Homo-oligomer: A and B are copies of this chain.
Amino acid sequence: MINIIGLNGIPMVKSGDDLGLFIVSAAEEQGVGIMDGDIIVVTQKVVSKAEGRLVKLKEIEPSEFARKISEGTERDPRHTEAILRESSRIIKMRGQVLIAETRHSFVCANAGVDRSNIDNGYLCLLPIDPDKSARDIRYKVKELTSRNVVVIITDTWGRPWRLGQVDFAIGVSGMTPFRDYRGMTDPFDYELGVTNIAVADELASAAELAKGKLSGIPVVIIRGYEFGKGEGSAKEMIRPLEDDLFR
């Protein structure tokens, strides 16, 4: 049995806060503690806040291009400018929708720049290196508790062809992000050719079920899942450009 446990006691996070410490305290307070093999799933928003990845809207000077593509949309040209600065490539644009490749090569709406759950007048950017963010929290938890855990940083993403969003992993530390069945044979002796499950993304989605966007639960512990050992990286889940039919 796998358990998904939302942590209730994480305070509002500010720049410079120590998330590892917050997580350990909240888990202890809630009586669940931290155990070896726990997967700690952390919402990008609180990581970005702790790392000071907020920008003031009024300090952004929008370019000509940002102004032009914001015309007729509800998005502030300064917000558009921040998106462009975080982008290394625009994949699709239509009306207010802007699908971009981020500095990390993730493809997502608005290059991960958003305005929710932060102080008014600011924008929140993705962490510079979400794998490192995950690793920092993992090491801190180890230091405080001696427990070996996995940390996954997640963000909420739309999908082509399907409505609604799900959480995916943007940072991973302490596990391989896949469960790879390629080359194995099923009970009928058929060799699985392509099956390579992106379990880090599934863990991100599973954790979201215990989070909620308004309830102040930015951290979830998944307990009882047997992951593949390894340092891991969310970058392993980026499809190489030469294999990509939609970029």
A: which residues have CB within 8 A of B? 1-6, 92, 94, 97, 99, 106-107, 115-120, 156, 158-168, 177-179, 181, 184, 186-190, 192, 194-199, 201-203, 205-206, 208-210, 212-214, 216, 225, 236-239, 244-247
Contacts and interface: CB of A to CB of B under 8 A. Distances in A.
A179 B211 CA distance: 12
Contacts of A179: 212
A188 B246 contact: no
Given A120-B188, A195-B156, A164 B3 contact: no
Interface centre among A166, A179, A203, A236, by most chain B C-beta atoms within 10 angstroms, is A166
Contact of A3 (B3, B166, B184, B203): B3
B238 A213 contact: no
B214 A208 contact: no
Contact of A177 (B164, B168, B199): B164
Contact of A164 (B94, B119, B198, B246): B198
Contacts of A244: 160-161
A92 B245 contact: yes
Copy total for this chain: 2
Given A94-B245, A187-B117, A190-B116, A164 B4 contact: no
A161 B238 CA distance: 6
Contact of A107 (B4, B97, B161, B199): B161
Nearest to A2: B4
Given A160-B244, A160-B247, 7 more contacts: A161-B247, A162-B237, A163-B238, A164-B197, A166-B205, A199-B209, A202-B209
A158 B201 CA distance: 12
A190 B107 contact: no
A205 B202 CA distance: 5
B164 A186 contact: no
Contact of A198 (B115, B117, B165): B165
Contacts of A205: 166, 201-202, 205-206
Contact of A166 (B1, B198, B236): B198
19 contacts: A1-B6, A2-B4, A3-B3, A4-B206, A94-B245, A117-B186, A160-B160, A161-B246, A162-B238, A163-B178, A163-B237, A164-B178, A165-B194, A166-B201, A166-B202, A181-B213, A186-B213, A202-B209, A206-B206
